[in-house]
Amino acid sequence: MIQLSYFAAAMLFILGLKRMSSPVTARGGIVWAGAGMLVATIATFFWPGMHNYGLMIIAIAIGGGAAWYTGKKVAMTDMPQMIAIYNGMGGGAAAAIAAVELLKGDFHSQSFLVLAVIGALIGSVAFSGSMVAFAKLQGLMKKSFIFPGQQKMNLIVFAAAIVYGVLLMTSDTTGGFALFIFFALALAFGIMMTLPIGGADMPVVISLYNALTGLAVAFEGFVLGNAAMIIAGTVVGSAGTLLTQLMAKAMNRPISNVLFSGFGASGGEAAAETGGTMKEVDASDAAVMMAFASKVIVVPGYGMAVAQAQHKIWEFCKLLEDKGVTVKFAIHPVAGRMPGHMNVLLAEAGVPYDKIYDLEEINGEFPQADVALIIGANDVVNPVARTDPNSPIYGMPILDADKAKNVIVVKRGRGTGFSGIENALFFLDNTRMLYGDGQEVANKLIQEVKQL
């Protein structure tokens, strides 16, 4: 019955993930996967020889209560941080399981010992790296931290962790000082690997650590002989790996470049040389321009999330539609600070799924758009990605907002984006800058359109 329960849980995990592939069924997919976890957790209580039920119940109550509270209270703008820290907890749990098994040292074969050590290494890296990602997204740590010889130092630390891991695999005892050093080095490597990565690369980093967490759980599932952990970890690991590849492809950069280049660390020094000047527009003129347009394409970015402007932007768009304007939303794969960040915010605001388009679907429509409204997006609409071989983002597929007849950019100030690269779009002849907080600007646009 336990194995049957684990099989049922695994099926619920897989079916839940499948349903998450569409925004229409994603909510149900979350519920299905949660039901699978509930089944697996309950079945574990009946495992032969299980004890410490009181501690198990206390742990579940603390963890479940904390998750329920934060899930209800954390704002959508802070969702990337929550995803990062929860993902890190998964890797940390896998590493903790490995630590217990290594301290016990009771392995049926050498292969299980090897899997335990590998799972411990991967889980520790995912845990500490995710904590750094959380700190950066939460603003507790600066976006990047680079010093001379950093990559060599990282390589030395990783190599030392591998050496101590091999010692654990080959020695008669798997506990003691060697185990402590091994985990210390693995945790240190996760921290050091994430420190130089800029905030603009966080979507890729989060999906990568998600994949590592899944792999660590799968390895520890083999060690424990737990089918549910094996299947769930494999599903998460493979899905996270594919997502990481898609994120990197969307930026036209290899994973190695994301992890080791320190992209975005140079701040303003990385700004591209641009010609022209920024031209301002007030909310009244911008509202008139869009109210009498035929088609408006809205491009949201992280700035919209920070301003929590998604509800007001959708209210404004509905007013435009009432006036006969065709409104569509264009989403870049790496917009925001986690995969699908903009989709989640727009869904929360009630934007219909059929109005949200990805890069490949919408790019051909920008030349026919009367206005492209950019709210909080920066690098994903920067035309130097097509034109300047010296730019750090050269070759990255972008949304072709600059090809619209008119471009209105809602921006809090004149600074560069999160990656520190100047946006040539802001200086084009067909671009107008509408400065201000995203939500306040949206309110002004709503009032202006209502008066027309």
Positions marked catalytic: 379
The letter for the amino acid at 311 is H
In the structure encoding, which two tokens stand for residue 401, read together? 């907002």
8 A C-beta contact, residue 404 and residue 297 = yes
| CA–CA separation, 255 and 55 (whole Å) | 41
* 211, containing H or E segment: helix 202-224
Residue 75: alpha-carbon gap to chain centroid:
16
Residue the block writes with tokens 């119940």: 57
> What are the angstrom distances between the C-alpha of 160 and each of 173, 205, 301, 376?
19, 23, 41, 43
Q: What single-letter DSSP state applies at residue 264?
A: T
> Helix, strand, or coil here: 415?
coil
Burial 12-34 (b: 16+ CB within 10 A, else e): bbbbbbebbeebeebeebeebbe
Among 451, 365, 452, 380, smallest CA distance to 419 is for 380
| CA–CA separation, 243 and 101 (whole Å) | 31
**Signed CA dihedral, 64, 69, 72, 75: sign only:** negative
| CA–CA separation, 268 and 369 (whole Å) | 32
In the structure encoding, which two tokens stand for residue 191, read together? 């921290």
8 A C-beta contact, residue 130 and residue 85 = yes
Burial class (CB within 10 angstroms; exposed 0-12, middle 13-18, buried 19+) of 376: buried
Q: Is 154 left (phi over 0), alpha (psi -120 to 50) or beta?
A: alpha
φ/ψ (deg, to 5) at 163: -60, -45
The letter for the amino acid at 371 is V
